[in-house]
A and B are shown apart, each in its own frame.
Chain A
Amino acid sequence: MSQTTLTSPALALDWSTRMRPQESMRAKVWRRFRKHRLALAGLGVITVFVALCIGVPWIANYDAGKTNLDIMREEPSLAHIFGTDELGRDLFVRLWDGGRVSILIGVATMLMAITIGTTIGAVAGFYGGRVDNLLMRFTDYMLAIPQLFLLLIFAQLLRSTNNPTLSGGPMPIIIIIGVLVWPPIARLVRGQFLSLKAKEFVEAARMSGTRNYRIILRHVLPNAASPIIVAATLRVGAAIITESTLSFLGFGVQPPTATWGNMLKNAQAQMTYAPWTAIFPGLAILFTVLSLNYIGDGLRDALDPHHVE
């Protein structure tokens, strides 16, 4: 997603004035990004994790959901490199099974939050006046209620419905997180739009009779893209943490669907006698969120137009 926005003509047009003509925007960002070693390492980790999440069902010998009570809570060994859990399931396989759901939650909530936040922020910033006022009051409203409180109310609400798709799987978690965490993004986008809409190229587009939605999508948005991309990266990690928090409080994704959050929660009680069941999901969350934060950091630096070389 990021690459298509980055190479959109408007963006290239605006920034080209500051760039060495022979270097494309994409190449430039990549060159700067590479300088941030840890961000690069983070990108590597995420690539490997995602590959494992997708690939493990194909390569592994063990059916992740398969219980085998003869090998309950076995220490890591050659046969089971991360050990087994309390039902004898291979922890390595289950970890990536859970990772798929956790990362799905992270990415899906990010997309929801970005979509809602960008739309609201863009409309508010671009149109200004009464629309702006109304939308920003709504944003204030969302920000004035402690987020975890709202999450818990919604989670309790969904949990008590008798609808299995709404009360157990990742879907409700995605919806409640996605619907609740957009306000900071809306504020951010609005700020960008406020300053960008006064720029000459927007004026020019307006003069030539381009429609508003086209101006927003083709001219302003691409120029506001970099902070949104950074925020998006960080949101993915934050959602993974939020899911684990909800799991800890008993409001998360319900077993048998594994997530890193509920694996970790379940492992709490056996932390002292089967520590591997707690350590691996914990480390998976740690490395994923850490890597995403570094990538966000690297992107921030790489996309910064004021960047000093």
Chain B
Amino acid sequence: MYARKLIVFALLVLLAVLIACAPAPTPAPAAKKGGKVTMAVWQSPITLNSNLGTQTVMDEVNVFIVEGFTKVMPDGARVPNLAKEVPTVQNGGVKDDGKTITYKLKEGIKWSDGQPLTCADFQFTLQAIMTPGVGVVSTTGYDKLASVDCPDPNTVVLKFKEFYAPYLTMFDNFILPKHATGDPKDMKNWAYNRKPIGTGPFKLDEWVADSYITLSRNPNFREKDKPYLDQVVIRIVPSSEVAMQLLASGEVDIVWNNTEADMPQLEKMAGVKISDPMQIGGERLFLNMAENKDPSDPKKPHLILNDVKVRQAIEYGINKQRIIDKLLFGKAKPGTNEINAGFFQCADFKPRGYDVAQAKKLLDEAGWVPGPDGIRVAKGAKVAPDGTRLRLKYSTTSGNKLREDSQVLIVEDMKAIGVELYIENAPSSVVIGTWDANSPRRHGNFDIIMYTTNAGIDPHSQMTNLFASWMIPHEGNKGGLNYTRFADPKVDELLQSAAKEPDMSKRRDLYCQIAKIGQEATNMIYLYQRLDLDSYRDRLLGWVPNAWDNNGWNAEEWSLK
């Protein structure tokens, strides 16, 4: 039953990909010109300068306005956007062991104010990002660049100090216009932050804080006759329940960021479509392999969870499909491993099925025998002294209903195999806090923590963060992100090779080997892979779901029925 669903799903994905990638067989005249589309967002943007903000809604607005060298298609393939082609070793764009990357810009690209886009803008963008003291949120990757060279206005050469594996993510979603910004030192106060200028299909007309943003057709957009729409309005509707009603009544055309719980309502709404591409990564349990103490010594084993058999038993004992069917309305997929979508997706990964007998068998083997109340106690276990109760603390971020509900189910599942979980949740600011804020996640003061994290389109940093032994957080490495305290010399070696590998396919193989080792070691239990859910009215044509980008990633193709 499940396999059949999967096949159908795979076929659908394939179909979607084919449609999306097909060299536009339908000519432009089919689309009607003009009209206005309104998108409801529940989050209120605070800045539109991608260097200064971290909100998802910021990218959701910016995608209409600003662009980068390349963009990512629904299937995870990178295609040229401002650049003529994606640089590869084969086409001569990647040279010098991957340390010199050359992009050729498409001819005649203009900013929405009519000024030409040139290589100098890329130089300026790098300079702005690397200017100290301006509050740029992340300099990751850009700090590896020695310079941006401009042999001519239409050629951009990135010179890296050392090889940086995700080099394609540099300048891939925004470029700052040199002429329409200001002194980088004053970046926080640029007028640009509230009125960005870009090369995208739309330009910003008006932004009334906490109320709405209006965008209109960029007259200087490089593709003739596009975009089809005259206007895109982004309306801040703080209550998502209200946004759904406005979608039902037709007052808005798009509702951004739906949840699975909205599905029954949306499926019943006449004239409404659901966009649901599969996302990478997903909700998982982090199992602490090292001692549970504040702060923990990563070299000391966790009393219970250090034994791989116990960890695997826990995964066998969790009925992932039940969580998906009952809490996610079937709108998700059981989790398997870290890289479960996109170019880097690892093939032939099977989810570890729900198998109570196997779970019990593993626990028996691991030296945990059922006690008088059904909860197991240690008798010859790997680390735990005899008589230790199989009882673990299970935490997640409080206030998240889906997480709290799924905890209820997992606690039930675990009880059935003789594992006792007790819930102790904390606000996300605590769970996801810093070392100095005594976050239990960083200090290692936990048994099981549950939340979601995703790799980007390039999983380089995610894989390193989660599996590298040098990423284990401790007093001397407060920023470490390897919370499970997973350490394997083989994996460290593979990660180091991957970091030096310019060939993407080879790099993928390396990551997949790590993912395989990870699945076997079960330092994390991938519960489910979620869909990226949005909804829109069917009068809007040209919408193509893309989990790798924001809703408006192809807004120039949008039109009204």
Measured CB to CB, the residues of A under 8 A from B are 67, 69, 72, 86-87, 159-160, 162, 164, 167-168, 250, 254-256, 266, 268-273
Contacts and interface: CB of A to CB of B under 8 A. Distances in A.
Contact of B265 (A86, A167, A255, A269): A269
Given A255-B401, A269-B262, A273-B265, A87 B424 contact: no
Interface stretch (B297-305, B425-433, B464-472): B425-433
B295 to A, nearest CB: 15
Nearest to B244: A269
Interface in B229-254: 240-241, 244, 248
Interface of B: 240-241, 244, 248, 259, 261-262, 264-265, 268, 322, 326, 398-399, 401, 404-405, 408-409, 412, 424-427, 429-430, 438
A208 to B, nearest CB: 58
A167 B428 CA distance: 12
A87 B405 CA distance: 8
A162 to B, nearest CB: 5
Contacts of A272: 248, 265, 268
Contacts of A162: 426-427, 430, 438
Nearest to A254: B398
A294 B261 CA distance: 38
A254 B265 CA distance: 25
B202 to A, nearest CB: 31
Contact of A256 (B404, B426, B430): B404
Nearest to B259: A269
The 8 closest A-B pairs by CB, nearest first: A69-B326, A268-B241, A273-B264, A162-B430, A272-B265, A273-B265, A269-B261, A255-B404
7 contacts: A69-B409, A87-B408, A162-B430, A164-B425, A250-B399, A256-B404, A266-B401
Contacts of A72: 326
B235 to A, nearest CB: 19
B241 A164 contact: no
Contacts of A69: 322, 326, 409
A160 B241 contact: no
Nearest to B438: A162
Contact of A167 (B261, B408, B427): B427
Contacts, number: 54
Given A69-B322, A162-B426, A250-B399, A269 B404 contact: no
B258 to A, nearest CB: 10
A72 B322 CA distance: 13
A80 B192 CA distance: 58
Contacts of B244: 269
A270 B404 contact: no
Contacts of A270: 261, 264-265
Contacts of B398: 167-168, 254
A273 B248 CA distance: 13
Given A87-B408, A168-B398, A256-B404, A269 B427 contact: no
A271 B261 CA distance: 11
Nearest to B264: A273
A20 B401 CA distance: 60
Nearest to A159: B427
Contacts of B240: 269
Nearest to B239: A268
Contacts of B425: 164, 168, 254
A86 B265 CA distance: 14
Nearest to B268: A273
Given A167-B426, A269-B241, A273-B264, A254 B399 contact: yes
Contacts of B248: 272
A207 to B, nearest CB: 59
Given A67-B412, A162-B426, A254-B399, 16 more contacts: A69-B322, A69-B326, A69-B409, A86-B405, A87-B405, A160-B430, A164-B424, A167-B398, A167-B427, A254-B398, A270-B261, A270-B264, A270-B265, A272-B248, A272-B265, A273-B265
Contact of B427 (A86, A87, A160): A160
B408 A256 contact: yes
A38 to B, nearest CB: 33
B408 A67 contact: yes
A254 B426 CA distance: 11
A269 B239 CA distance: 10
A36 to B, nearest CB: 38
Nearest to A65: B408
A164 B248 CA distance: 39
A154 to B, nearest CB: 15
A46 B248 CA distance: 38
A250 B428 CA distance: 13
Contacts of A255: 401, 404
Contacts of B430: 160, 162
A255 B402 CA distance: 11
Contacts of A87: 405, 408
A268 B409 CA distance: 23
A266 to B, nearest CB: 7
A271 B405 CA distance: 19
